[in-house]
Chain A
Amino acid sequence: MARRENPEINAGSMADIAFLLLIFFLVTTTMNVDSGISKKLSEKPPKDYIPPMIKEKNIFVVVINRNNELLVENQRMDIKDLKDEALKFIDNGGGIGNAGEDGSPGKACDYCQGERSDSSSDHPNKAIISVQSDRGTEYGTYIQVQNELLKAYTELRNRLAKQKYQMTFDELEKAYDEAKKNAGMKDRVEDLRVKVEYIKTAYPQIISDAEPTS
């Protein structure tokens, strides 16, 4: 049954195949989005800089040794307990906070739900977390610790935002980003900015990295 003649190969669907392949590659090639834990380093202190006096109770010391073990406030701890401990410390609110930038006197933390114990932090804006690692500490552990501490802050911020604005802090930030991009929502931008700023100053992330021991 040989065909006698073959006038033309139908190439009409070739373009469809080409587009199909194009779409396939577009979908499968993942442009790896770079994401990570962002941090702002402190500026280099001038030579004659005298560090301010900070009360012992306002510092939460986390030490990581070269075997990747944790010592939190002089007690051995597993990494899974770190978040709750940090949360308790930040949210303690046992005293009076820093004075405002406009010179207004510091106030007690009225949104904290902590134990208000005298031996823990005074106010979230005074609470400093100091991470002291060894030069030989594994980077993975270090990041895990940073992550747990950030988790504590996120949880507190979400709680406060939910309480005040009936939405989590993540949602609030997302709404703010969207409002910034969207020209039709100009009137909401300022309102959302104030809300985001308020939450951020209510629980500022103060995590300092001490010089590692060798």
Chain B
Amino acid sequence: MPAVNTAALPDIVFMLLFFFMVTTTMRETDLRIENPRLPSATEIKKLEHKSLVCTIYVGKAKDETKGAGYNKIQLNDKIASADQVPSFIINARTKVSEAEIPFMTTSIKADRESSVGTITDIRLKLRDVNALKVSYSTQKGTSN
């Protein structure tokens, strides 16, 4: 029996490599809350410079012992409170160069059933540490 030709094996391996390279950069943090159902809007702007964006999630905790309701805040990998927002931002700032700090944006991904009070708490904390650029993450809605 002749040997199977393996000339195409490198192609397959490269293909898998490319595939994993593309998919693994998609999300660095595990969601501890249920995937937020983002509100939809039409007047939206794309967020550029991914490395300068830090994301805060707000929504319902997956782990029910953390309490019910859509107002749980996730920073990095764990559920936190609004008081921990400043340290989260300062920590994120250490990762970028000083000149880029004013261009950092905080993206708030909140569920549409979250309450404005929670968002305001986060906003006040952001203001305390001078992180003034905020983007409320939304889906692209249809204009009507």
Contacts and interface: CB of A to CB of B under 8 A. Distances in A.
Interface of A: 6-11, 14-15, 18-19, 21-22, 25-26, 29, 31-44, 64, 133-140, 142-144, 146-147, 150-151, 154, 209, 211-212, 214
Contacts of B132: 40-43
A6 B23 CA distance: 40
B11 A14 contact: yes
A77 to B, nearest CB: 17
A146 B110 CA distance: 15
23 contacts: A7-B2, A10-B5, A11-B4, A11-B5, A21-B15, A22-B15, A26-B18, A31-B22, A34-B55, A36-B45, A36-B136, A38-B45, A38-B133, A38-B136, A40-B134, A41-B123, A41-B133, A133-B116, A138-B116, A139-B115, A143-B138, A150-B43, A151-B143
A206 to B, nearest CB: 15
Nearest to A13: B8
A6 B1 CA distance: 8
A36 B128 contact: no
A41 B134 CA distance: 7
Interface in B86-144: 105, 107-108, 110-120, 123, 126-128, 130, 132-138, 140-141, 143
- B interface: dominant SS: mixed
Contacts of B141: 147
Given A18-B8, A26-B22, A33-B46, A144 B41 contact: yes
B11 to A, nearest CB: 4
List of 3 A-B pairs having minimum Cβ-Cβ separation, nearest first: A14-B8, A135-B117, A140-B112
Interface in B17-45: 18-19, 22-23, 26, 39, 41-45
B26 A139 contact: no
A130 to B, nearest CB: 14
B135 A135 contact: no
Interface residues of B, number: 57
A39 B44 CA distance: 11
- A interface: dominant SS: mixed
B30 to A, nearest CB: 16
Contacts of A29: 22-23, 26
Contact of B137 (A34, A41, A140): A34
A34 B113 contact: no
Given A37-B45, A39-B134, A134-B116, 18 more contacts: A11-B4, A11-B8, A18-B11, A22-B18, A36-B108, A37-B41, A37-B135, A38-B134, A39-B136, A40-B132, A41-B132, A42-B127, A133-B116, A135-B115, A139-B119, A142-B116, A147-B138, A212-B116
B79 interface: no
